[in-house]
Amino acid sequence: MRILTLLLLWVPLAAAADPLASWDDGQAKQAITGFVAAVTQAGSPDFVPESERIAVFDNDGTLWVEQPIYIQLAFVLERIGELADEHPEWREEQPFKAALARDGVALGEAGMEGLMQLLMATHAGVSSSEFAALTADWIATARHPRFERHYTELVYQPMLELLDYLRDNGFKTFIVSGGGIAFLRPWAERVYGIPPEQVVGSQIALEYEVIDGVPTLVRKPEIAFIDDKAGKPVGIWRHIGRRPILAFGNSDGDYQMLEWTTAGEGKRLGLLLHHDDAEREYAYDRDSHIGRLDKGLDDAADKGWALVSIQRDWRRVFPWSPTADASP
């Protein structure tokens, strides 16, 4: 009986032995575990008190898939389709016509200005709670064109393990996304274990109005803050008010976040995910329109940032995909 009990205890203990089980035992994993050991060991010269163990993560391409288009853009395009009946003029007007036809060339030609028009048409003019419900509904049903899974199943298993591992070591984990804060918050806690107050992102203007006696936050068609590139350190400072000690990104949009994080005093860790596995996920870097990683690749070694290769460093990519020995 006692032996059986011991055996039963042994199974979960053995399974819990490696909190980063989906990571190959290579340099990237060692950089992470070495860093965490150094900053959490009392008496170590690199020790950091819990309150200052702030870790920030980009979202698109770092925590979940960003190809073939940003997931939030898929939401925008589907929402344009849903709203088209109320806007018959969209059938002839760009960029709406291109969005309805999923005409990538015409959308590309519409550029940033066109994208903003689509964003405002789909993200503003409703209350914050209505928008949260729209987002939650969409994310619960929409599926990725290649993987045919819900988008929230296209989060990276090694990153989920890393978030848990850091929190188990007294870190507070934050998302710092170029994407919209209101698009992420309704599901980030369920999927990543990151509560709304730890999500930093781009924002449109809000206005407080009492409408028919109901206090309401109305979303206005105006950009209030873009949390990308040099905006990321600004967004972090606004929301968190501390410089992180760990930053994890995957594109040049995360360059300044890593630069500012790792320039702080004491031990810091900057990580860049390199999408180099077309078979299990996607392969793209310097020439990609989405998630371009160019300057980051050039400077990573000089800056002391760890490059994480999906191909070599991740034994499993998604929670539902098979575990494999990493490629040689």
Instruction: Name which of 18 and 189 has its Cβ closer to its own copies.
Output: 189
CB of 311 to its own copies, least distance (A): 31
Stretch of 97-105, 238-246, 268-276, 277-285 contacting its own copies, by CB under 8 A: 238-246
Tokens of 116: 């903003």
Which residue of 84, 240, 283, 297 would you call a contact of its own copies, by CB under 8 A? 240
Counting contacts by CB under 8 A, is residue 233 touching its own copies? yes
Instruction: Name which of 42 and 214 has its Cβ closer to its own copies.
Output: 214
Scanning the structure block, which residue is given the tokens 């992420």? 184
Which residue of 6, 8, 9, 263 would you call a contact of its own copies, by CB under 8 A? 263
Counting contacts by CB under 8 A, is residue 231 touching its own copies? yes
Counting contacts by CB under 8 A, is residue 49 touching its own copies? no
Counting contacts by CB under 8 A, is residue 260 touching its own copies? yes
Tokens of 148: 């045919």
Stretch of 93-101, 149-157, 159-167, 182-190 contacting its own copies, by CB under 8 A: 182-190
8 A C-beta contact, residue 228 and residue 178: yes
The identity of residue 292, as a single letter, is R
Stretch of 39-47, 62-70, 137-145, 197-205 contacting its own copies, by CB under 8 A: 197-205
CB of 231 to its own copies, least distance (A): 8
Which residue of 239, 312, 315, 316 would you call a contact of its own copies, by CB under 8 A? 239
Stretch of 62-70, 257-265, 270-278, 285-293 contacting its own copies, by CB under 8 A: 257-265
Which residue of 51, 92, 141, 212 would you call a contact of its own copies, by CB under 8 A? 51
The identity of residue 11, as a single letter, is V
Q: Which residues bind its own copies (CB under 8 A)?
A: 51, 54, 128, 172, 181-182, 185, 189, 195-199, 203, 206-208, 210, 214-215, 217, 230-231, 233-234, 237-242, 256, 259-260, 263
